[in-house]
Amino acid sequence: MPRQAAVQTIAPAGEASLCQALIRDMPAMVHSIDAGGVIVDVSQKWLEILGYSRSEVIGRKSVEFLTEESRAYAVENVLPEFFRSGRCVDVPYQVVAKDGRILDVLLSATCVRGADGQVLRSIAMMQDVTARKRAERRLDAAKAYAENLLHTANVLVVELDPQGRVCRLNRALEQLLDCAAADLAGADWFRTVSPPEQYAGIRDRLARMLRTGDGDRFESHLVTPAGGERQVVWRSSPAIEGERVVGTLCVGVDVTEQRRAEARLAVSEQALREAQSVAQIGSWVRDYRSGELHWSDEMFRILGFEPTQARPSMGAFLAAVHPDDRGEVEQAHRQALANHRPCDLRHRLLLPDGTLKYVHQRAEVCFAGGGRPERVVGVLQDVTMTVLQELALQQSEELFRTVADYTYDWEYWQGRQREMLYISPSCERVTGYSQIEFVRDPDLIRRIVHPDDRARFDAHLCEFECAHDLQIEFRIVTKRGEERWISHGCRPVVAKDGRRNGRRVNNRDITELKAAELRAHQLAYYDALTGLPNRRLLTDRLGQAIPLAVRQQRPLALMFIDLDRFKQVNDVHGHDVGDALLVEVGRRFADCLRTSDTVARTGGDEFIVLLPEIADPEHAAAVAGKLLAALRSPVTCGDASFAVSASIGVALLAAGSRDDSSGLMKKADSAMYAAKQAGRGCYRIDGG
């Protein structure tokens, strides 16, 4: 009997263990809950899919893993019926994974009851149908979109059965015909709306499309019930269900007005050709989508081509541009694209027979949505006679005016091609290069710009193309290798007709001014003895660091450092030795810190260290230890050697602290005095 009792006691535990093993090893999402809805076990697959660990799941109610809507549905509807009937099948729920993903599942479950009929536990299996649900929603949305498009599209849509009878029309077609779809239901569509002479051909096309399954496109007349006639381009395709053709879907576009416009356009194009010939203005259109380029007849004539003997191309046009002007023309086109502004310039043409022409070109880029260029439309006018009459007088007047306006510093005038038209003799005093060197090599001006400033100078040149007076400061490297600071001001040279003829530049040597500014900055913000930041710069950095630390919720540390018994060094060895000692101590402190930290000398033998970004208070203690350790090796100043120590007070700005700069300094100062009272040569951290 004792042996039998032992077996009865062990058996339930063995069954439970076997059940647990079965649940956990199931290759599906399975979980078991007790009568209170608390999860007692889950399969490994359940945990893998939802991303939880077993300890995060066991002991929690199963409804906690449902969305709010699914949880309400389970508590109010599913669970009461489940515990009554003992089973449920394919209940749709939404489950929340640990990473926030929402999964659609179908849950089926069964109850395990005791001998008294009470529910002991239940076992549930969930099937992940997220992908299927998502596909169903997309399909429903696509169907709704297609149906809405059918009825609201601004094209003509008619659905026919295999015999060509009307099944339905969309609203646009009803409005065109001025009748309801019900009035035409079952009617032979193309017999009803096609002219008699076109009906047989259209019926043959429809039969061939249904037989081959290939879509078709054709244009035909459409006769309305009121006797009106429209021109429509149709695109028809078979309607298929499964593998069976059940009819035809015809989509049409009313091109009546387009065809009328095309006829009017043919007349106006002839008039335009005649007008362009009289005005000596050629036109061109470039389509970026197709890559096609169209020239008018007058455009061919200006470029020296016969329309029947040449094919329009940008290569042919650029080949006709004077070699000295080609770069400017290409740049103007690029800027029109980049800046979304018209291209407007005069330049020369050099034709194969040696003829030189002056032309005025204007082009404007048309952009599609998203800023993508769609096409460019341009005109080219032959202005040779006008330019030849004005050129000599205009250039002499502009040269005189430019030289007269600028007679000091280093001056120069660059033409439209950046050629050097004038440069003052002072260029050699400032740069070391002579006038002739700049005239022979116009790019020399850019090359002498300091490499670190050259990108900014190039950007300035690009900006000048779109602006008027500009000012910039940069460095140059002279012929002797010296660095000089230049204040560079430029303005456009504008002709009487508003065209730009280059730019006039004034360069002033401001090297001495820059040096004075640097010295003033050093005196204002740095200690004259050690070269370390002074109290003013430290206060400025601390004022910036405190708000940043508060926003980022990261601690900040401020250290007051006082050298122990420094007065004795000055008294015994003199101030020169004391100053050398301070310089060495400052250097050692700086070597212990990061580039983002600050060590400042604020007066006498006092130093302050700012640690703006520390991970935790222990970091500040570690830095204080490094600073003390840096002083352990003796400091040698001339013939004397000193053992130096310091007392350090540390104040911390913890998360949530409301201390300002003044409060933090007071705390660090107090902690420093505490370090001195503790025997010197140590640090103390403020406890407040």
pLDDT tops 70 at residue 6 = no
User: Sorting pLDDT into bands at 50, 70 and 90, what band is 404?
Assistant: very low
- pLDDT, tens digit (0-9, with 9 covering 90-100), for 141-179: 877 776 776 666 678 888 888 888 888 888 888 888 888
Span 657-679, pLDDT tens digits: 778 888 899 999 999 999 999 98
Which pLDDT does position 391 carry in this prediction? Answer: 66
Taking a C-beta distance cutoff of 8 angstroms, is the pair 612, 541 a contact?
Answer: yes
Choose the weakest-confidence range: 193-207, 295-309, 457-471, 642-656: 457-471
Question: Who's near 372: CB < 8 A, 6+ residues apart?
Answer: 288
Stretch 61-65: mean pLDDT = 92
Interval 345-388: pLDDT, tens: 999 999 888 888 899 999 888 888 777 888 889 899 988 888 87
User: Average pLDDT of the chain?
Assistant: 84
Q: In the prediction, which pLDDT does 7 show?
A: 27
Q: Mean pLDDT, to the nearest integer, of 178-182?
A: 84
pLDDT at residue 164 in the model = 85
Give pLDDT, residue 520: 75
For residue 688, what pLDDT band results from cuts at 50, 70 and 90?
low
403 CB-side CA count, 13 A: 11
231 exposed, middle or buried (CB, 10 Å; 0-12, 13-18, 19+)?
A: middle
What pLDDT, on the 0 to 100 scale, is given for residue 525? Answer: 81
DSSP 560-614: EEEETTHHHHHHHH-HHHHHHHHHHHHHHHHHTS-TTSEEEEEETTEEEEEE---
| Angstrom distance (rounded) from CA 562 to CA 291 | 77
Q: Would you mind telling me the total number of residues written for the chain in this entry?
A: 688
**Which element (helix H / strand E) includes 640?**
strand 640-642
pLDDT category at 104 given cuts 50, 70, 90 is very high
Q: Which has more pLDDT, 406 or 673?
A: 673
Q: What is the pLDDT of residues 188-242, one digit of tens each?
A: 888 888 888 888 888 888 888 878 878 888 888 888 888 888 888 988 888 877 7
Q: Is the pLDDT of residue 273 over 80?
A: no
Measured distance CA(115)–CA(112) in Å, rounded: 10
- The arithmetic mean of pLDDT across residues 616-628, rounded, is 91
Q: In the block, which residue shows the tokens 């602290």?
A: 657
Q: What is the pTM of this model?
A: 0.35
Q: Determine the Cα angle at 569 with ends 565 and 571, to 5°.
A: 105
- Classify residue 246 by its DSSP letter: E
Tell me what percent of the residues of the chain surpass a pLDDT of 90: 26
Mean pLDDT, to the nearest integer, of 462-469?
A: 70
Asked if residue 383 lies in contact with residue 290, where contact means CB atoms within 8 angstroms, the answer is no
What's the rounded mean pLDDT across residues 525-548?
Answer: 89
Judge whether 605 counts as a catalytic residue. yes
pLDDT band for position 8 (50/70/90)?
Answer: very low
Predicted confidence at residue 177, as pLDDT, reads 84
pLDDT: which is higher, 573 or 599:
599
Q: What is the pLDDT of residue 14?
A: 53
Among the options 104, 527, 562, 605, which is catalytic?
A: 605
Percentage of the chain lying above the pLDDT 70 cut: 92
**What pLDDT sits at residue 5?**
29
How many angstroms separate the first and last alpha carbons of the chain?
Answer: 74
CB 60 within 8 A of CB 38: yes
Q: 393 falls in which pLDDT band (50, 70, 90)?
A: low
Give the DSSP H/E element, type plus range, for residue 17.
helix 2-25
Supply the pLDDT for residue 491. Answer: 85
Please compute the mean of the pLDDT values over residues 261-288 and round it to a whole number. 79
For residue 327, name the pLDDT band (cuts at 50, 70, 90): very high
For the chain, state the CA radius of gyration: 44
Mean pLDDT to the nearest integer, 29-50? 91
At residue 467 the predicted structure's pLDDT band, cuts being 50, 70 and 90, is low
CA distance 313 to 334: 17
Look at residue 412 and give its three-state secondary structure. Answer: strand
C-alpha 228, offset from chain centre: 54
Residues 644, 581: contact at Cβ < 8 Å?
Answer: yes
pLDDT at position 396: 58
Mean pLDDT of 546-560: 89
284-289: long-range contacts (C-beta < 8 A, 24 or more apart)?
284/312, 284/317, 284/377, 284/378, 284/379, 284/380, 285/375, 285/376, 285/377, 285/378, 286/314, 286/375, 286/376, 286/378, 287/374, 287/375, 288/372, 288/373, 288/374, 288/375, 288/376, 289/374, 289/375
Alpha-carbon distance of 279 to 316, in angstroms, equals: 23
pLDDT tens digits, 111-146? 888 888 788 889 999 999 988 888 888 878 877 776
